[in-house]
């Protein structure tokens, strides 16, 4: 266990998504000292009592894990669904970590993800996790988005979108030909994931689970690729949806490199291939398994050490 008094200026980075919350501790020189994962959370959960209880329980779990290594001097937390109101969450983290609320900075998780891939003004990030978004932070530090409006409205190409598309396809086929699921590798994989082939299982899954849990169903769809044309079509369309986000930013702000990131983007190679095919031919597209929690930890260090550069080490 590290002693924080012997390592002053330690930064804690938090990358909170719908399926998983990742954290990392960074030393003043940017080296990652420790990292781990706890349950997923969303700032949107703060709108309901049971959601607030779940967020606090996850923060308790996170603080317990972090303090086994060191007490951070500053925290940078990127949370999915964050819209600017984080007073209660900041107070909880400050209490649990034993630090001042002023040492904690919260932002949207995509702000952290962008800075893990590009310096401001350098390129465009398309992120596909449970949801999806295109992001550009210009040289003045202004955040510009394409998409990212939430899974109920859109978030095309994200894990929830893939899961919903699969269930929609399966149940439309059942409307037309009851029992057809038995000959569909995707439907069999999906029904195994949700617990059964009766509509009650799908209904409970899609309407009763948190969005991050629903998004995990995309794994079953990806596992069916190459065996089921319906799964192949959904993944190809997911790539085109992600390409739409990049194209929106390219049209608005001009040619720049594009980075594709997020777990949904890694589900199957056809997603990135389909996205690439939808972009202008001269667009540089890279796929990155970025570590946003590392970038957040280094940003936390920079908050208390202005001379520190995020380029110290690799985010």
Chain segment 44-90, per-residue pLDDT in tens:
889 889 889 999 999 999 999 999 999 999 999 999 888 778 899 99
Q: In sequence order, which residues have a C-beta less than 8 Å from that of residue 219 and are 6 or more positions away? A: 193, 267
pLDDT of amino acid 9: 86
pLDDT of amino acid 305: 63
pLDDT at 182 over 90: yes
pLDDT of amino acid 211: 83
pLDDT averaged over every residue in the chain: 90
Secondary structure of the chain as H, E, C letters:
CCCCCCCCCCEEEEEECCCEEEEEEECCCCCEEEEEEEECCCHHHHHCHHHHHHHHHHHHHHHHHHHCCCCCCEEEEEECCCCCCCHHHHHHHHHHHCCCHHHEEEEEHHHHHHHHHCCCCCCEEEEECCCEEEEEECCCCCEEEEECCCCCCCCCCCHHHHHHHHHHHHHHHHHHCCCHHHHCHHHHHHHHHHCCCCHHHHHHHHHHCCHHHHHCCHHHHHHCCCCCHHHHHHHHHHHHHHHHHHHHHHHHHCCCCEEEECCHHHCCHHHHHHHHHHCCCCCCEEECCCCHHHHHHHHHHHHHCCCCCCCCCCC
Q: C-alpha angle with apex 39: 34 to 74, nearest 5 degrees? A: 45
pLDDT of amino acid 303: 73
pLDDT grade, residue 111 (50/70/90)? confident
Q: Say if CB 217 and CB 163 are below 8 A apart.
A: yes
Mean pLDDT of 289-314: 71
pLDDT at 220 over 90: yes
* Phi, psi values for residue 120, rounded to 5°: -50, 135
pLDDT of amino acid 209: 87
pLDDT at 6 over 80: no
pLDDT at 296 over 80: yes
pLDDT tens across 133-159, in order? Answer: 999 999 999 999 999 888 888 999 999
pLDDT of amino acid 311: 46
- The residue among 98, 230, 227 whose CA lies nearest residue 173 is 230
Q: Comparing 19-28, 227-236, 243-252, which segment has the lowest mean pLDDT?
A: 19-28
pLDDT of amino acid 13: 95
Strand order in the sheet with 285-287: 143-147, 132-137, 124-128, 258-261, 285-287
* Phi, psi values for residue 291, rounded to 5°: -115, 85
Q: Say if CB 310 and CB 115 are below 8 A apart.
A: yes
Residue 7, beta-bridge partner list: none
pLDDT of amino acid 18: 73
Mean pLDDT of 283-311: 79
Q: What are the tokens at 279?
A: 């972009």
pLDDT at 294 over 70: yes
pLDDT grade, residue 5 (50/70/90)? very low
% of the chain with per-residue pLDDT over 90 = 72
């Amino acid at each position: 266990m590290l002693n924080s008094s012997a390592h002053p200026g330690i930064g804690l980075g938090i990358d909170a998504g719908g399926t998983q919350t990742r954290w990392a501790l960074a030393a003043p020189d940017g080296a990652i000292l420790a990292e781990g994962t706890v349950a997923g959370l969303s700032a949107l959960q703060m709108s309901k009592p049971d959601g607030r209880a779940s967020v606090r329980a996850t923060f308790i779990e996170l603080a317990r894990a972090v303090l086994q290594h060191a007490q951070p001097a500053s925290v940078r937390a990127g949370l999915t669904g964050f819209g600017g109101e984080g007073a209660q969450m900041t107070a909880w983290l400050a209490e649990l970590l034993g630090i001042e609320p002023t040492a904690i900075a919260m932002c949207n998780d995509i702000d952290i993800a962008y800075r893990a891939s590009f310096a401001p003004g350098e390129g465009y990030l398309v992120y596909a996790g449970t949801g999806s978004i295109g992001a550009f932070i210009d040289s003045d530090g202004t955040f510009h988005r394409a998409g990212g409006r939430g899974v109920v409205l859109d978030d095309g190409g994200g894990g929830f979108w893939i899961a919903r598309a699969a269930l929609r396809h399966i149940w439309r086929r059942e409307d037309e030909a009851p029992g057809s699921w038995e000959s569909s590798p995707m439907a069999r994989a999906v029904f195994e994931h949700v617990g059964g082939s009766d509509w009650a299982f799908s209904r409970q899954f899609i309407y009763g689970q948190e969005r991050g849990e629903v998004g995990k169903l995309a794994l079953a769809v990806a596992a069916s690729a190459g065996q089921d044309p319906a799964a192949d079509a959904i993944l190809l369309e997911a790539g085109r949806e992600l390409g739409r986000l990049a194209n929106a930013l390219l049209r608005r702000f001009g040619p720049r490199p594009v980075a594709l990131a997020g777990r949904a983007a890694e589900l199957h190679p056809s997603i990135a291939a389909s996205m690439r095919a939808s972009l202008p031919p001269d667009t540089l597209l890279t796929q990155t398994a970025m570590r946003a929690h590392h970038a957040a930890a280094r940003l936390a260090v920079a908050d208390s050490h202005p001379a520190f550069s995020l380029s110290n080490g690799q985010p």
